[in-house]
């Protein structure tokens, strides 16, 4: 923060000049002091207004948005720290993203001119970095519910991510003060993108108690009740511009197909995603209407992704039912490994691994969400040019 020095000067008043002159001189000094104090207040106000007013992002999510947190969770089984993750991002090395290139949040941020926030657990994260770029709390395997993804051992649930954000606000308040921190947080963009793990790695797995404690309708209601509490906590912590990403047709990810008896999409999972999106849309509309000074929005790309999966050739894809990175006939391979075989053209595959979309599919999903949220440039039919550090690298020949 720049400091402004205000110098108050006045001519020395001599008592010998008489009472009249002394009175004028004293009055002059009082006026000088008053104007100087007023100037001080103005300058202090300018300083507060000007403190790090850059708009940043705070991202809460799962493996679809994780940019490295799980790499620092040494006991976590949900990892993207081996080749060939990140092969089309920067130098082509694993960076914690569960895809070959960019996440949807990466692409939306690039399109809107916002910096890419680093992972919360990144050792280089400091107060200055937060003020410049924001923070990404997303964690592979995380869910809206604390119990989701328990067999991954370590992961950040949404409740945990919110707890970490609370600590971030306290850190920034200690640096800037409450008024400037409130302004900084209030102008930031918040992204909340979780929910699929609550189904795939919880409710739809018999090993979890939620699978027999609830039915489809009551489980979605349970998720919405929890999500509402979480969003209200974020609002109380200063979030004013918040977007919730909906779910895609999760019954059509390669893992769900290979676990089915027919190799087709699992329609129950897809119907649950549709129910989640409908309920979340209503929840966000309600919060948006009643929370003061807040813009809480919901958007999903379910329909367009479903159409891509069913008609991939119409969108420039050749494959929409199997992963680009796999162990061939050994399926499901729950992660991409150095021993895996890569498809010959990664841009032609909708899915990168058994769970996650490819960079090309993420671009398509991001374009749809950009339209839904009404961002500038969202109506362009052509995809925005990737940032230099995420340019797509040539695909190796298939082994």
Q: Which mean pLDDT values do the consecutive 10-residue runs of the chain (399 residues) have?
A: 37 38 42 40 41 83 98 97 97 97 97 96 97 98 98 97 98 97 98 98 96 98 98 98 98 95 95 98 98 96 97 98 90 88 97 98 97 64 38 36
pLDDT score for 261: 85
281 Cβ neighbours under 8 A, 6+ residues apart = 246, 298, 300
> Is 356 in the active site?
yes
* Catalytic site includes residue 360: no
Residues 6+ apart with CB under 8 A from 289: none
Question: So what's the pLDDT on residue 393?
Answer: 37
**Choice among 300, 353, 358, 395 that is catalytic:** 353
pLDDT at res. 334: 79
Token representation of residue 252: 């059509």
pLDDT at 333: 80
DSSP classification of residue 22: H
Query: What are the structure tokens assigned to 143, written together?
Result: 């869910």
3-state secondary structure of 60: strand
Residue 299 has, within 13 A of its CA and on its CB side, a CA count of 22
Identify the pLDDT of residue 35.
42
Contact between residue 57 and residue 188 where contact means Cβ atoms under 8 Å apart? yes
Q: What is the pLDDT of residue 53?
A: 58
* Residue-wise DSSP of 353-374: SSS-B-HHHHHHHHHHHHHHHT
pTM: 0.83
User: Comparing C-alpha atoms, which of 321, 299, 300, 301 is closest to residue 310?
Assistant: 321
Catalytic residue among 198, 340, 356, 358: 356
Q: CA of 174: how far to CAs of 49, 124, 126, 376, in Å?
A: 17, 19, 13, 35
- E strand or H helix that includes residue 169: helix 158-176
Per annotation, catalytic residue among 62, 63, 110, 347: 63
Least Cα distance to 127 among 191, 184, 72 occurs for 184
In the prediction, which pLDDT does 2 show?
38
Confirm whether 353 is a catalytic residue.
yes
Dig out the tokens for 367 from the structure.
Answer: 């374009």
CB 249 within 8 A of CB 302: yes
Residue 203 confidence (pLDDT):
98
Nearest 5°: the CA angle 83, 312, 274 is 90
């Amino acid at each position: 923060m720049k400091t402004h020095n205000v110098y108050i000067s006045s001519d020395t008043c001599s008592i010998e000049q008489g009472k009249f002159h002394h009175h004028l001189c004293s009055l002059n000094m009082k006026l000088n002091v008053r104007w100087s104090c007023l100037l001080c207040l103005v300058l202090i106000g300018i300083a507060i207004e000007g403190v790090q007013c850059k708009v940043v992002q705070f991202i809460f999510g799962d493996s679809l948005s994780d940019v490295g947190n799980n790499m620092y969770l040494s006991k976590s089984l949900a990892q993207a720290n081996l080749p060939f993750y990140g092969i089309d991002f920067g130098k082509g090395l694993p960076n914690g993203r569960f895809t070959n290139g960019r996440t949807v949040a990466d692409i939306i941020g690039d399109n809107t001119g916002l910096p890419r926030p680093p992972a919360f657990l990144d050792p280089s994260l400091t107060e200055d970095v937060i003020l410049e770029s924001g923070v990404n709390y997303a964690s592979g395997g995380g869910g809206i519910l604390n119990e989701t993804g328990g067999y991954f051992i370590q992961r950040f649930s949404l409740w945990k991510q919110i707890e970490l954000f609370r600590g971030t606000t306290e850190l920034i308040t200690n640096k800037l003060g409450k008024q400037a921190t409130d302004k900084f947080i209030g102008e930031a963009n918040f992204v909340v993108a979780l929910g699929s793990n609550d189904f795939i790695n919880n409710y739809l797995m018999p090993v979890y108690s939620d699978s027999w404690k609830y039915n489809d309708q009551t489980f979605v209601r349970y998720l919405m009740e929890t999500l509402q509490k979480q969003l209200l906590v974020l609002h109380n912590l200063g979030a004013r511009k918040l977007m919730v990403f909906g779910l895609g047709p999760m019954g059509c990810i390669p893992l769900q197909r290979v676990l089915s008896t027919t190799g087709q999409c699992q329609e129950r999972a897809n119907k649950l995603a549709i129910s989640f999106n409908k309920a979340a849309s209503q929840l966000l509309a309600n919060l948006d209407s009643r929370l003061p000074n807040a813009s809480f929005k919901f958007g999903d790309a379910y329909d367009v992704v479903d159409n891509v999966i069913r008609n991939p050739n119409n969108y420039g894809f050749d494959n929409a039912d199997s992963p680009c990175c796999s162990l061939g006939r050994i399926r499901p391979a729950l992660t991409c490994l150095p021993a895996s075989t890569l498809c010959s053209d990664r841009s032609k595959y909708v899915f990168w691994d058994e769970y996650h979309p490819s960079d090309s599919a993420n671009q398509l999903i991001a374009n749809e969400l950009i339209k839904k949220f009404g961002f500038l440039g969202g109506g362009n039919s052509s995809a925005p040019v990737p940032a230099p550090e995420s340019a797509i690298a040539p695909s190796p020949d298939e082994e």
